[in-house]
Chain A
């Protein structure tokens, strides 16, 4: 025979201070776990949001980032001529040679300065990205003008329209702010390819070439044709693969978060055990009475276990509620691939919340098992005599 759950619920409600205190302890570790998962999820969203499914990034063989790669201008000509490349309305191939470097600006989080990706590209390069102008205007060819991504504009006080920032050989005027949605591009500074490559003494070469294929089959063929082309000494990687691998930038923080959540959970697990033991001690008489009424040892065990799990379920919900506001927070993390800061928003989605909740339930069950066993094993007569 099963003891109704309402009995446990009422018991938790009667000892509401103890219940809340214990639950809050578990809730905090749940919140930290959910936040860590939300952080990595947010970072992943930004990286996957950058990739176009049909675009290939061409880098020098042996390079593992745009920053550490060089592709000569004559290779760009060969790449443009490859079949399988998509074309724009004017019939020109969608291929963009780009120069990537970093500039250092003081940010809100790091007054000492943080790196931001600087990308030199052409009109075709802009067309190949889903980026829209939100303020000011686009940069003009031949001028020392740049655009900043919206995240850069928000996080770096010196990145305002009309301000000048310094990189390469001198000052550049910020003339516009662009929005790349949930993508890495929002954390970049863009300028004209020729202008920027001249500043870095790289007139005859670029860092990378971005190519769009007409369809997935052409994408594969294009990739192979680039890698087999002995004139190029280059390789092609899909934008998706390139950005996916950068998600690991969040790994140290994720590891730290999970490590902390697990250790905190052990601490709150002990606390749950304590609370449940106290409940068992206080209700000795009740337990005896229940046994006399015919409830078996098993149902007593289950009932106390259920109470512990209910307590931790409450904690799980509390923890999720505590973590939720983080969804509004934008923060930045350094990518070792681009050697610069990527801004992203926490994304505590259903998976993170459910993981946190499940974590709490497991904790409640583990913490409650010993007290529940102690309750079930009480001698009926001596239990009845307890004060």
Chain B
């Protein structure tokens, strides 16, 4: 492909729409992601995303818009997780149980639906090159709502996520925030799934945030880095798909995976380099006074 044909592709409306949609999904996922990682909720992200697919299959079967199905599936599962297991230890078992059963239901719906379920499969792998202006507006509006909601609860959510006992003692509504965050996460996923697919939302919501956590120890910088890496993966994936015969999700998942691996391998020096001083400034006097009786 020549440079000229690449730039002319960039002028196409469907490419521009794809880039904007990819950027919105990346920004939303990049902001939600660090909280997902800190709160150990990667598995919940999976459960919600994959049961969005079951919802879509169910909606197709009874003749409804699959997008409605995604919303019902994702938010319904988030509600179940919230009701059955807010504490992380029981939460993963609850998600495992619901996820397996829900995917089984999805298979049943697809089997019963005797036509080829393009709509449902499109939701699995994304149809980013087929985004319309109307969908963009919807995506942008929902994305903005997620970002604003998260900004409003940012401080107490961070407090409750990293230091729940003290947060509770200080009057932070820890349990309500857990459920609120679950709802925000499910909403963010459901709206992004419609555009970028289940697979992409998983790679944009977890890997960039996990990579960012290996690169910096500042909570604010983690969010910014996570957004930057998600944008790199999303936009980079779409641009690479224009010049190759492969779909964007292949490159997006590849880029976020590579970012995580590189951050893990080389991040620790960068991360602890700031402010790490010699250990244990406590004088040794204290232990020596106890001698053999210690």
Tell me if chain B binds chain A: no
Interface residues, chain B, CB within 8 Å of chain A?
Answer: none
Interface residues, chain A, CB within 8 Å of chain B?
Answer: none
